Amino acid sequence: MEFNEKLLELRNSRGITQEELAEALFVSRTAISKWESGRGYPSIDSLKEISKFFSVSIDELLSSDKLVTIAEKENKTNMRKVLDFLLGLNDLLACGMIFLPLFPHPVDGKIYAVSLIEYIDVSMTIRLIYWILFASLVVVGTVLVILSHFKFEKAKRVMVILSMIISIVTVLALAITRAAYATSVAFILLTIKGLLLLKREKT
């Protein structure tokens, strides 16, 4: 007997509706309907709740192979959430490029480093481009951190692609305008992001 058939039989034996079971397990009625129709399986936590509610072992509900498959899928999902969060956090670090002394400021033949706020040695247009790029990364990073808690995979993919494009443009813009320190930091952040993205795609 498959899991969906067992769950349906257990629910009917108790004489409860899908809504009542959903309330008892702290899930939606749609989830119960999905499980009973064989269109999906519950998470490990939900399986524990089902086991406890009906006083049966998890082994009675699912075969060991299916349980391993669910656990592996859950681990991949959790790993992807962590990687999405780290990708967002990486972009949020661009905020530091506004306040850290990374931009050249020549004084009496010597070169000092100043923050973007104090950087006045280039045109207003270039400074504006910097501000737009760094602010864009911070916004994208914030959105990615928020999305890491949800299942909006398409939205996450769009934000990750946008993040990579902005990061590449940022490195190029800084390199062209010869902001060496800022270019190095932006390149390091881009490299870390690339490694995280590779790991995400393999998960």
Asked if the model's pLDDT at residue 203 lies above 80, the reply is: no
Inside any domain, residue 43? yes
Inside any domain, residue 69? no
Q: Of 158, 163, 190, which Cα lies nearest the Cα of 174? A: 190
Q: In the predicted model, what is the mean pLDDT of residues 104-126?
A: 90
pLDDT digits (tens, 9 = 90+) for 5-50: 999 999 999 999 999 999 999 999 999 999 999 898 898 889 999 9
Inside any domain, residue 40? yes
Inside any domain, residue 70? no
CA 103 to CA 83: how far, in whole Å?
30
CA 116 to CA 182: how far, in whole Å?
10
Domain of residue 14 covers 3-62
Statement to judge: residues 45 and 87 lie in one domain: no
Total tally of structural domains belonging to the chain: 2
pLDDT digits (tens, 9 = 90+) for 127-162: 999 999 999 999 999 999 999 888 888 999 999 999
Asked if the model's pLDDT at residue 108 lies above 90, the reply is: no
Statement to judge: residues 123 and 198 lie in one domain: yes
In this prediction, residue 151 carries a pLDDT of 82
In this prediction, residue 111 carries a pLDDT of 86
Statement to judge: residues 110 and 197 lie in one domain: yes
* Half-sphere exposure at residue 124, Cβ-oriented, CA atoms within 13 angstroms: 0
Inside any domain, residue 67? no
CA 93 to CA 179: how far, in whole Å?
18
In this prediction, residue 140 carries a pLDDT of 96
Helix, strand or coil for residue 11? helix
Instruction: Look at the alpha carbons of 19, 20, 23, 24 in this order and tell me if their dihedral is positive or negative.
Output: negative
Residue 12 burial by CB count (10 A; 0-12/13-18/19+): exposed, middle or buried? Answer: exposed
Statement to judge: residues 32 and 131 lie in one domain: no
